[in-house]
């Protein structure tokens, strides 16, 4: 019987947000299986540096850089076209890229930056690549969320993008709740189609995500540094969901520490998940 690594060797993985932290480690570990890793970065120079690092740690893999800004819908569409045109198959999509903004920023599409990068971009990319994933079945979709989704007590449907009232931490927490709701609805829609969808919390990880934070929360991050996990530890659940035979048929789930975990009650709201999908489809031009 072939071992799990040799079975994984011929697979193609797409990982967004590979320039640092969890994304880089995830891409490195997937490349170590001997597969092809499509490494997506927003900045070309940082992306090239990351790819060189990944190749250095995992020379047995094939790693190719694609530059795309997940906050820009046209950029996401171009990325999907490139993937469809260049690769015959796509076995695993890892939606990892994310931002946390202290102040409200608006993209060229008129979207709030955190919402666009953390939710709408991955939503659009996933939908555009669904046919390719189905054609590569069994395939997997892995989306990095966070336990901070539990801080959201109510979804502000009339102000999802903080146009009326913006708070950076609340916007980030809400985007992580959206990741889970999206995954829940995606799992339902993909039932019996050979593609699974799961989300995860990497834990409290030391990454560059909070580099723009100021004030009291910045002090908290500094003081809590000894308690923060390394990116290597934080990437473990992403890699588990992308590769483990134990979750080959699990879909619509939420994981932490490579095990099924409990979400907030709000994250289990099927009506909210369906409503978010419809709104997202309209905003991204899919509907």
Residue range 131-141, pLDDT digits in tens: 999 999 999 99
pLDDT value of residue 10: 87
Judged by average pLDDT, the poorest of 87-96, 199-208, 269-278 is 199-208
Residue 121 lies in a domain: yes
Q: How confident is the model at residue 9 (pLDDT cuts 50, 70, 90)?
A: low
Residue 210 lies in a domain: no
Q: For residues 181 and 275, what is the distance between their CA atoms, to the nearest angstrom?
A: 10
Q: 117 lies in which domain range?
A: 4-204+232-283
Active-site position among 13, 87, 172, 240: 172
- Please state, for a pLDDT cut of 70, what percent of the chain lies above it: 88
Residue 245 lies in a domain: yes
pLDDT value of residue 228: 55
Q: How confident is the model at residue 8 (pLDDT cuts 50, 70, 90)?
A: low
Most confident segment among 113-127, 191-205, 221-235: 113-127
pLDDT at 15 over 50: yes
Residue 221 lies in a domain: no
Q: What is the average pLDDT across 211-235?
A: 57
Which residue is associated with the tokens 């659940």?
A: 237
Residue 215 lies in a domain: no
Residue 181 lies in a domain: yes
Q: For residues 106 and 96, what is the distance between their CA atoms, to the nearest angstrom?
A: 21
H-helix or E-strand containing 25?
A: helix 21-31
- Across the chain, which distance is largest between two alpha carbons, in Å? 59
The alpha carbons of the chain give a radius of gyration, in whole angstroms, of 18
CATH code of the domain covering residue 139: 3.40.50.720
Q: How confident is the model at residue 272 (pLDDT cuts 50, 70, 90)?
A: very high
Q: Is 240 a catalytic residue?
A: no
pLDDT at 6 over 50: no
Residue 82 CB partners (closer than 8 Å, separation 6+): 66
Residue 213 lies in a domain: no
Q: Is 123 helix (H, G, I), strand (E, B) or coil?
A: helix
Q: What is the average pLDDT across 74-80?
A: 98
pLDDT value of residue 217: 43
pLDDT at 287 over 90: no
With DSSP H G I counted as helix, E B as strand and the rest as coil, what are the percentages for the chain, rounded to 5? 50, 15, 35
Number of domains in the chain: 1
**What's the whole-number average pLDDT of the chain?**
91
Residue 241 lies in a domain: yes
According to DSSP, residue 116 is labeled I
pLDDT value of residue 82: 98
Which residue is associated with the tokens 């409290």?
A: 204
pLDDT at 203 over 80: yes
Higher pLDDT, 176 or 203: 176
Q: What is the average pLDDT across 216-222?
A: 43
Token couple for 195: 């593609």
Q: For residues 126 and 142, what is the distance between their CA atoms, to the nearest angstrom?
A: 10
pLDDT value of residue 214: 52
Judged by average pLDDT, the poorest of 173-182, 186-195, 224-233 is 224-233
Q: For residues 262 and 145, what is the distance between their CA atoms, to the nearest angstrom?
A: 13
């Amino acid at each position: 019987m072939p071992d799990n690594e040799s079975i994984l060797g011929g697979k193609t993985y797409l990982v967004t947000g590979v320039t640092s932290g969890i994304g880089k480690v995830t891409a490195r570990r997937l490349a170590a299986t001997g597969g092809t890793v499509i490494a997506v970065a927003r900045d070309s120079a940082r992306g090239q540096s990351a790819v060189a690092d990944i190749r250095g740690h995992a020379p047995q893999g094939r790693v190719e850089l694609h530059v795309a800004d997940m906050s820009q819908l046209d950029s996401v569409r171009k990325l999907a076209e490139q993937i469809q045109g260049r690769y015959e198959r796509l076995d695993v999509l890892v939606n990892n890229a994310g931002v946390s903004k202290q102040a409200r920023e608006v993209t060229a599409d008129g979207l709030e930056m955190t919402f666009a990068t953390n939710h709408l971009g991955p939503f659009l990319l996933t939908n555009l690549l669904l046919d390719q994933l189905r054609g590569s079945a069994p395939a997997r979709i892995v989306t990095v969320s966070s336990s901070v989704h539990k801080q959201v007590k109510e979804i502000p449907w009339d102000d999802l993008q903080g146009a009326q009232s913006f708070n950076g931490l609340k916007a980030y927490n809400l985007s992580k709740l959206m990741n889970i709701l999206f995954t829940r609805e995606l799992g339902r829609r993909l039932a019996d189609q050979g593609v699974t969808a799961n989300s995860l919390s990497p834990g409290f990880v030391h990454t560059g995500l909070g580099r723009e934070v100021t004030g009291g929360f910045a002090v908290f991050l500094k003081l809590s540094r000894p308690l923060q996990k390394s990116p290597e530890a934080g990437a473990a659940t992403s890699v588990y969901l992308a590769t483990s035979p134990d979750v080959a048929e699990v879909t619509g789930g939420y994981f932490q520490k490579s095990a099924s975990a409990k979400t907030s009650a709000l994250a289990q709201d099927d009506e909210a998940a369906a409503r978010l999908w419809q709104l997202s489809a309209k905003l991204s031009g899919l509907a």
